[in-house]
């Protein structure tokens, strides 16, 4: 792919993440306008709105996976785990809006988005394992429960429109239950 085409693709994906992250009902015209490209350029890279939504969701999940992998090498495994958890919850509103737009199209996530989601879950699992080994997270907190807490906190914060202060207090309560020595 030529450099200018690669740049256009990245601008389109970035614009689409912003546009669809704010409103699942947004249009590809809005994406083109924000990306400062013509609508034909959008459709040259992404033949349908669904293809664009899938690419945005995949990119977002890959970015979260990469962030979790970066944090896996952190000297403070507890801080890395809780920091990543907080990041996912803080960014959940726009991710859920993108997933909602994809769902509203009558489509389920494609193979690339599913693979990216699985990669993110595995990287999150590694963060959890390291935090437990470091004594920062209780050992009886298994991945399925902790992942459900991540999803639930993300959806709950989004559905209720929690302001950042309230979201941080909610997470502090949740983290108190996850910390080693809490009920274990």
Q: Average the pLDDT over 33-42 and give the result.
A: 94
Measured between its terminal Cα atoms, the distance across the chain in Å is 54
Question: What are the pLDDT digits (tens) for 81-102?
Answer: 999 999 999 988 777 777 777 7
Does one domain contain both 106 and 36?
no
d(CA 71, CA 141): 20
Does one domain contain both 37 and 63?
no
Question: What are the pLDDT digits (tens) for 113-158?
Answer: 889 989 999 999 999 999 999 999 999 999 999 999 999 999 898 8
Does one domain contain both 67 and 22?
no
Does one domain contain both 170 and 113?
yes
Does one domain contain both 2 and 80?
no
Does one domain contain both 109 and 23?
no
Tokens of 75: 């000297």
Q: Is 134 helix (H, G, I), strand (E, B) or coil?
A: coil
Confidence of residue 179 (pLDDT cuts 50, 70, 90): very high
d(CA 108, CA 127): 28
Predicted structure pTM score: 0.86
88 domain residue, yes or no:
yes
Q: Give the C-alpha distances (Å, rounded to integers) separating 159 from 80, 95, 166.
A: 26, 13, 13
The residue range of the domain holding 166 is: 57-178
C-beta of residue 54 within 8 angstroms of C-beta of residue 113: yes
The per-residue pLDDT for 121 is 95
162 domain residue, yes or no:
yes
Does one domain contain both 88 and 147?
yes
52 domain residue, yes or no:
no
Does one domain contain both 71 and 16?
no
The per-residue pLDDT for 23 is 79
**CATH code at 1?**
1.10.10.60
Dihedral angle computed from the Cα positions of residues 181, 129, 60 and 7, in that order, rounded to the nearest 10 degrees: 130
**How many domains does the chain fold into?**
2
């Amino acid at each position: 792919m030529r450099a200018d085409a690669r740049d256009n693709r990245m601008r389109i994906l970035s614009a689409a993440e912003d546009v669809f992250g704010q409103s699942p009902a947004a249009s590809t015209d809005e994406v083109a306008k924000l990306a400062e490209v013509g609508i034909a350029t959008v459709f040259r890279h992404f033949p349908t709105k669904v293809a664009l939504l899938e690419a945005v969701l995949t990119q977002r999940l890959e970015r979260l996976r990469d962030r979790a992998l970066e944090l896996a090498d952190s000297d403070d495994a507890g801080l890395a785990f809780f920091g990543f958890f907080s990041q996912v919850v803080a960014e959940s509103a726009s991710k859920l809006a993108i997933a909602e737009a994809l769902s509203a199209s009558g489509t389920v996530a494609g193979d690339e988005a599913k693979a990216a989601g699985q990669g993110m879950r595995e990287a999150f699992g590694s963060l959890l394992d390291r935090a437990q080994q470091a004594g920062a997270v209780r050992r009886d907190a298994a991945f399925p429960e902790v992942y459900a807490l991540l999803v639930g906190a993300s959806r709950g914060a989004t559905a209720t429109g929690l302001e950042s202060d309230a979201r941080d207090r909610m997470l502090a309560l949740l983290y108190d239950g996850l910390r080693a020595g809490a009920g274990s």
